[in-house]
Amino acid sequence: MEKKDELIKIFSRNIREILNRVTVDFDEVQEIRLRVAAPLLMIYRNEEFYITPKGTLSREVNDAYIASKNELKETMEYMSSYSLYAFEEEMKQGFLTLQGGHRIGIAGKTILDESGIKTMKYISFINVRLSHQVKGCANAVLPYLYENGNDVCHTLIISPPRCGKTTLLRDMIRQVSNGTEGHMGQTVGVVDERSEIGACYQGIPQNELGIRTDILDCCPKAKGMMMLIRTMSPRVIAVDEIGSREDLEAMEYVMNCGCKLIATVHGSSIDDLKQKPVLRKLVEERIFERYIILNNLGRIGNIDEIYDSRGTQLYKAKVHQMGVQWDMQECIAYG
């Protein structure tokens, strides 16, 4: 109820009243989407629903409430506390971060200057992504994260969209930073390019990332990794959604400096990465020591497989005839 109350106050009055009637568990709501003259949508438990004027969820488009231009304008005013200019830097990247860690994706007409995107106006599309921190969701991968006592392995989380890779990364950062039974806490540097990991609001992270964690918010990953190495002396650096050649060069610099790296990437398997020219090098040169592969079966954050740098399978989800069991099983080693 607290999350729902915190969330609905950012919407226009009409949409706020509709959402107030919705009876689902808002801890399992992932997104709410508004588009001018289009249906009001909710992503709930990984499924898309239309929201009706009565606050019920429907799969029929004709039942949906249609958002108006004025309602999107009013929503943006509430979200920014009538001070959109205060969010100009974030709006250049197409999002706002609100108190509580909720991230608001926006699209409309971009205004350009000689340096690139200056700001955005005529905002006609809003995607509210609810912040969900699941403490303890990384417990299952921690036995595979360390080698030689307290050494964190270079780790890459591979995941299709909406499978919980950022949620898992966030909890791995928290636990590495705080320390766990048998492992001392370590200084972690986070480059949070799109404010999704720490969800900083006015410089303060809304998600708990641990007592030894330093965050560069809204900073490009490649530049941020170099900055952290030079200024904050991290033992571990964490980044979300790698993929560019600049990212790869920065990661190699980080590793050559003796710093460990935890990162995520969109994909479905190690073979999938090999099909992407920039990422193929990561696999062929065995840059990462652990690959954690997520799937979209069951609940968010399901761990499908874990491999080491040589391709040895360290873990595989146990499949039963009646379904899939998601508790961690005995280590499976091949070769």
Q: Which one is predicted more confidently, 323 or 318?
A: 318
Q: Residue 215 corresponds to which tokens in the numbers above?
A: 């965050």
Among the listed ranges 36-45, 84-93, 172-181, 287-296, which one has the minimum average pLDDT value? 84-93
Q: Which helix (H) or strand (E) holds 137?
A: none
Among the listed ranges 46-50, 145-149, 281-285, which one has the minimum average pLDDT value? 281-285
Fold of 142-325: Rossmann fold (3.40.50)
The mean per-residue pLDDT over the stretch 224-237 comes to 96
Does the pLDDT value for residue 327 go beyond 60?
no
Q: Residue 168 corresponds to which tokens in the numbers above?
A: 């898992």
Burial of 287 (0-12, 13-18, 19+ CB in 10 A): middle
Q: What secondary structure letter does DSSP report for 251?
A: H
**Phi, psi dihedrals of residue 90, rounded to the nearest 5°:** -70, -40
pLDDT in tens, 78-102: 888 767 766 777 778 788 888 777 8
C-beta separation of 95 from 194 below 8 A: yes
Q: Residue 240 corresponds to which tokens in the numbers above?
A: 């979300």
Among the listed ranges 125-134, 249-258, 305-314, which one has the minimum average pLDDT value? 125-134
C-beta separation of 201 from 97 below 8 A: yes
The pLDDT of residue 323: 42
Determine how many CB atoms are found less than 10 A away from the CB of residue 70.
11
Instruction: List, in sequence order, the alpha helices (H) in 9-136.
Output: 13-21, 69-79, 88-91
Instruction: List, in sequence order, the alpha helices (H) in 189-314.
Output: 221-231, 245-256, 270-274, 277-284
Domain residue spans of the chain = 2-129, 142-325
Determine how many CB atoms are found less than 10 A away from the CB of residue 194.
19
Which amino acid is residue 240, in one-letter code? D
Among the listed ranges 65-69, 86-90, 137-141, which one has the minimum average pLDDT value? 86-90
Handedness of CA 229, 234, 239, 243 (dihedral sign): positive
For the domain spanning 2-129, the CATH number is: 3.30.450
Its pTM stands at 0.82
The mean per-residue pLDDT over the stretch 140-150 comes to 91
The pLDDT of residue 301: 63
Which residue, chain included where needed, has tokens 């009243």?
A: 17
Give residues with Cβ within 8 angstroms of 18, minimum separation 6: 40, 51, 52, 53, 54, 55, 65
Which residue, chain included where needed, has tokens 């958002």?
A: 67
Return the closest-CA partner of residue 138 out of 92, 187, 183.
Answer: 183
Residue 164's pLDDT band, with cuts at 50, 70 and 90, is confident
The pLDDT of residue 1: 53
C-beta separation of 95 from 103 below 8 A: yes
Cross-strand pairs, 35? 125
| Greatest extent of the chain over all pairs of C-alpha atoms, in Å | 63
**Rounded distance between C-alpha atoms, residue 28 and residue 101, angstroms:** 15
The pLDDT of residue 299: 60
Give residues with Cβ within 8 angstroms of 62, minimum separation 6: none
**Rounded distance between C-alpha atoms, residue 136 and residue 29, angstroms:** 19
**Rounded distance between C-alpha atoms, residue 318 and residue 324, angstroms:** 6
Of 1-15, 74-88, 98-112, 218-232, where does the model show the most confidence? 218-232
Which amino acid is residue 14, in one-letter code? N
